[in-house]
Structure 1
Amino acid sequence: MIAQPVVTGMQGSLRSAQRVNRSMTAAAEKRMLEWMARRAPHWVTSDRLTSLGLAAQVGAGVCYALANWNRLWLLGVCVCLAMNWLGDSMDGTLARVRRQQRPRYGFYVDHVVDIFGAVAMMTGMALSGLVHPQVAIAMLIAFLLLSAESYLATHTLGLFQMSQGVFGPTEIRILLVIGNLALLRSPFTQLFGHTILLFDLGGVIATAGMTAMALITTARHTAELYRQEPLP
């Protein structure tokens, strides 16, 4: 499976959308993924990598839920995040290297998998006792809003935004790993003299950031579409 962005017209015509990735790790990650894809054994396929990515994200949710009883399960979350990166990031690269692109199938499946995986992981996080459920739900809603805007922009503008500024999926995984390791020491932090859950603080910041990015990109893309299709 390949997550090649596509734009379809009224008659089902298909063209590739422009991929935009300006994240901090984008250049190095691209070189690493292509190196790995060219050396991957034949039995490693794009569909199997996609399945691995989903299973790993579901596994991360399960490990978060189990961390309610033992925080050492957070190490399992870190392993699952690494496996999710491998499956989610390499499936499209492998398809391109092997010239096995399936644009519509790949775009649809890859993003449906992202949605279900995010729901699974945030559900586990809400059950972990390390963040209030309301914060986990808010993060999920903000993620889904940002994702929906990205999918609509891909269809209407032919622009697939893979990152927001210098942050992309890989940077988010790295921040989660750092946060998980910090939780092993203590789930709490100090803010203005008050003791709060570390992931509550991080979750509120993440929710605010994703919501702001969704609003900004929505305004920018609406203005661009208005310029492209002015009133007669």
Structure 2
Amino acid sequence: MSTQTVVPNNKTSFATAQRVNQSLTAALEKRALTWMAERAPRWLTSDQLTALGFAAQIGAGAGYALSRYDHRFLLLVAVCITLNWFGDSMDGTLARVRHQQRPRYGFYVDHIVDILGAVALMCGLGLSGFAHWWVTIAMLVAFLLLAGESYLATYTLSRFELSQGLFGPTELRILLIAGTLALLRDPHAHIFGHNVLLFDLGGAIAAACMFALVIVLSMRHTAQLYREEPLG
């Protein structure tokens, strides 16, 4: 008596999640990215854009670390964050415009690169002296928790939410660039008669918001999945 092992065909069974982006700049950004993708040179590939985005995020982390010795490196950080937006946003758009989507590969590579890039960015910020280590670690932990929740929700609900309310990755990059350039003028914030590091204040607020968002989304998605998969 022989037995057969059935191996699922992952290429056909993988379901691409619905992408949802309702951020403030989403509509304009989509039109701009599509316009650039349609005019991109043929030699440019989505993999090259992913590599550019990753290298730029590492460059931003290095720029923060070097700004401890020369504040002009903050300008490099701003440029690198912009390049990170271009590479990270354009890679998927280019693949869709050219009908070269690789859903499993693209989802995995994009997000492992985001995780590694976030670690590099926060380590660089911690080394810069513009924020205390506890703040950068709190931001990194909160980001990783939020990312993990997002990936689990994408898998279980087939819905990939790129934004929460009016804020998405692009809006966060804009805020980070604005804050970085503000450091050139004054690295401190003056609040209630006290001087605190600008990025300590902003980072603590960002971390608190991300932690709160993780709790809210976890409860919402758990309740949704419970309703869709009741015990009885």
Does the TM-score normalized on the shorter chain lie above 0.5?
yes
CA deviation after TM superposition for structure 1 residue 11, in Å: 6.7
Return closer, same or farther for 1:196/1:19 CA change in 2, 3 Å cut-off: same
1:192 aligned onto 2:192: yes
Q: Residues 178-212 of structure 1, C-alpha deviation per residue, up to 9 Å, x if partnerless?
A: 10111001111111111100000000000011111
Q: Which residue of 1 aligns with 2:30?
A: 30
Q: Which residue of 1 aligns with 2:202?
A: 202
What code does the residue aligned with 1:144 have?
Answer: L
CA distance in 2, matches of 1:60, 1:16: 31
CA distance in 1, matches of 2:57, 2:121: 6
CA distance in 2, matches of 1:190, 1:138: 22
CA distance in 2, matches of 1:16, 1:28: 24
Q: Which residue of 2 aligns with 1:160?
A: 160
Secondary structure at the counterpart of residue 214 of structure 2: helix
Secondary structure at the counterpart of residue 15 of structure 2: strand
Q: Which residue of 2 aligns with 1:122?
A: 122
Q: Which residue of 2 aligns with 1:4?
A: none
Q: Residues 45-94 of structure 1, C-alpha deviation per residue, up to 9 Å, x if partnerless?
A: 00000000000000000000001011111000000001000000000000
What code does the residue aligned with 1:16 have?
Answer: T
1:48-127 aligned within 5 A: 48-127=48-127
1:16 aligned onto 2:26: no
Return structure 1 stretches of 4+ with deviation > 2 angstroms. Answer: none
Secondary structure at the counterpart of residue 230 of structure 2: coil
Q: Which residue of 2 aligns with 1:176?
A: 176
Q: Which residue of 1 aligns with 2:144?
A: 144
Q: Which residue of 2 aligns with 1:7?
A: none
CA deviation after TM superposition for structure 1 residue 220, in Å: 0.4
What code does the residue aligned with 2:225 have?
Answer: L
What code does the residue aligned with 1:83 have?
Answer: L
> Once the two structures are aligned, what percentage of the paired residues are identical?
65
What code does the residue aligned with 1:208 have?
Answer: A
Unaligned runs of 5+ in 2: 1-7
- Cα RMSD (Å) of the superposition? 0.9
CA distance in 2, matches of 1:143, 1:164: 14
Q: Which residue of 1 aligns with 2:227?
A: 227
CA distance in 2, matches of 1:136, 1:38: 38
CA deviation after TM superposition for structure 1 residue 23, in Å: 0.6
Larger Rg computed on CA atoms: 2
Q: Provide the TM-score with structure 2 as the length reference.
A: 0.95
Q: Number of aligned residue pairs: give it.
A: 223
What code does the residue aligned with 1:103 have?
Answer: P
Q: Provide the TM-score with structure 1 as the length reference.
A: 0.95
